[in-house]
Amino acid sequence: MSAGITLPFWLVVLLAIFAIIGIADRVLAPSVRWFFRRRVNLAIDELNQRLDLRIGQFKLTRRQTLIDQLMYDARVVEAVDIEARETGEPRASVMRKAERYAREIVPAFSVTTYFGFGIRIARWISEFVYRVQLGYSDDEALKTIDPNATVVFVMNHRSNMDYVLVTYMASTRASLSYAVGEWARIFLLQSLIRSMGAYFIRRNSSDSLYRRVLGRYVHMATEQGVTQAVFPEGGLSRDGHLREPRLGLLGYMTSDFDPASSRDIVFVPVGINYDRVIEDRVLTSASEREITGRNFRVGPGSLTRFIAHLFNLRLRGRLYRFGYACVSFGRPVSFRAWVRRNAPDIHTRSREEKFEAIGKLGHHLMREIGSVIPVLPVALASRVFLAEAGSWISELELKSRIFELIESFEKHQAHVFIPRADRDYAVTTGLRMLKLRHLVEENADGLYRANAKERVLLEYYANSIAHLM
């Protein structure tokens, strides 16, 4: 009974390792987790004191818990049953498909990633590429937003830089949850985007089960007060004009809304404009090919050379950046107040009547967004050169035409951004940007005219303020 047992050395080492792991897991890990959880909670409390819009508990919930909540939502379970009956597919198989959709959609928000890393990167990228400016902000109206309301920033979609720029510009107000298209579902990038609180959507999916799962997640997030940012246009403008609103996300957010009992939804219009949109030639390539026959394509090689060229110019002190990028925040629109004025019985209406009401809301929001889009120097200069129809004009004449446009816009209460509060400088910066890109030509006498080969691009920038005319 008291005889010794001889064990191989490798087995003793293995047992010792397992013992250390067990002690760490049962004794040390709970204390360490408690310590870090306490630090995170203190950081969140400190952030919520600084932010205008607090980070809600729903956004901080573990991702797996959110997926489980979504999977066992009554509407999702009903959708699974309908799909199984209509297709004859086993219910378990349909349930797995729904779970796959849920995992694709639900984000994994990280306070550390968003505020410790994401905001700094967004600021660096924005200021490296542009001279970033806050245009107009109705601060008094923004302060009156009900703290219990769900705030949704609705904005025009000019560039994929919109995500980065608005994240940076709104960083003192809130942490934003974006609806991001499938273009960003790239290895590693998608994990980073999820940790920033964004959720992925398939913009043109005809799968009814997918749409139901997506709709329930958006509704849950809205109901729980998650601050969101959406592009009602549903995609980038390819001609510079504002697009017609697409109502999918707005419909999901406002479904089952009862003005008497539901949490209010407050839409904050955001207007964005750029002196130069990074991907402008890609966006206008279809029109360019149709009108001039030229075909513009972007490959990994050309993109790498372009970025290297920017860094080279920056190091040599010759990078003017891409001009100004300007963001304006308009007067908030309370959905509850809008419903009481326009559709007080919306919660009892048929599906078709609700859709019609949301259509009216979408157009109203696009008008509000359009009214706060900043008027920038390049857009002003582009309008003048197009109006001159190829005639040569002097810089003095250009200034005179632009000053007349500015007065006209200001008369109609448009928000004109004048850099350094100097109109002469505004004309100089707008003209310089067009000359650098060869969108205008200069002759030996110092006169200027639109480059006939670049009319499509000039129209693209002029159209960004066409609705304000």
Q: Give a three-class secondary structure readout of 239-307.
A: CCCCCCCCCHHHHHHHCCCCCCCCCCEEEEEEEEEECCCCCHHHHCHHHHHHHHCCCCCCCHHHHHHHH
**273 and 191 in one domain?**
yes
Residue 289 maps to a domain: no
Confidence of residue 294 (pLDDT cuts 50, 70, 90): low
Measured CA to CA, the distance from residue 415 to residue 379 in angstroms comes to 13
Cα angle: 117, vertex 120, 124; to 5 degrees: 135
- Domain of 178 in residue numbering reads as 104-278+322-371
User: And the tokens for 170?
Assistant: 């709104």
- Using an 8 Å Cβ cutoff, are 346 and 419 in contact? no
**351 and 464 in one domain?**
no
Residue 310 maps to a domain: no
Global confidence as pTM:
0.84
Please determine, for residue 41, whether its predicted confidence score (pLDDT) is greater than 50: no
**230 and 193 in one domain?**
yes
**387 and 347 in one domain?**
no
**426 and 331 in one domain?**
no
Measured CA to CA, the distance from residue 157 to residue 177 in angstroms comes to 16
- Using an 8 Å Cβ cutoff, are 330 and 368 in contact? yes
**386 and 244 in one domain?**
no
Measured CA to CA, the distance from residue 459 to residue 99 in angstroms comes to 46
**381 and 364 in one domain?**
no
Residue 15 maps to a domain: no
In tens, the pLDDT along 44-64 reads 455 445 557 777 788 888 889
User: And the tokens for 153?
Assistant: 């920033």
Residue 420 maps to a domain: yes
Domain count, the chain: 2
Please determine, for residue 248, whether its predicted confidence score (pLDDT) is greater than 60: yes
The CATH number of the domain where 110 resides is what?
3.40.1130.10
**398 and 254 in one domain?**
no
Measured CA to CA, the distance from residue 221 to residue 177 in angstroms comes to 10
Run of H or E residues at 328: strand 324-329
Out of 88-97, 108-117, 312-321, give the one with best mean pLDDT.
88-97
**189 and 216 in one domain?**
yes
Among residues 346, 371, 396, the one where a domain terminates is: 371
Residue 64 maps to a domain: no
**381 and 366 in one domain?**
no
**268 and 413 in one domain?**
no
Neighbour count for residue 220 (Cβ, 10 Å): 18
Residue 8 maps to a domain: no
Q: In sequence order, what are the residues at sequence separation of 6 or more whose Cβ sits closer than 8 angstroms to the Cβ of residue 230?
A: 152, 153, 154, 155, 178, 179, 249, 250
- Using an 8 Å Cβ cutoff, are 388 and 450 in contact? yes
The CATH number of the domain where 444 resides is what?
1.10.10
Predicted confidence at residue 187, as pLDDT, reads 65
**200 and 345 in one domain?**
yes
Please determine, for residue 36, whether its predicted confidence score (pLDDT) is greater than 80: no
Q: In sequence order, what are the residues at sequence separation of 6 or more whose Cβ sits closer than 8 angstroms to the Cβ of residue 320?
A: 432, 433, 436
Residue 165 maps to a domain: yes
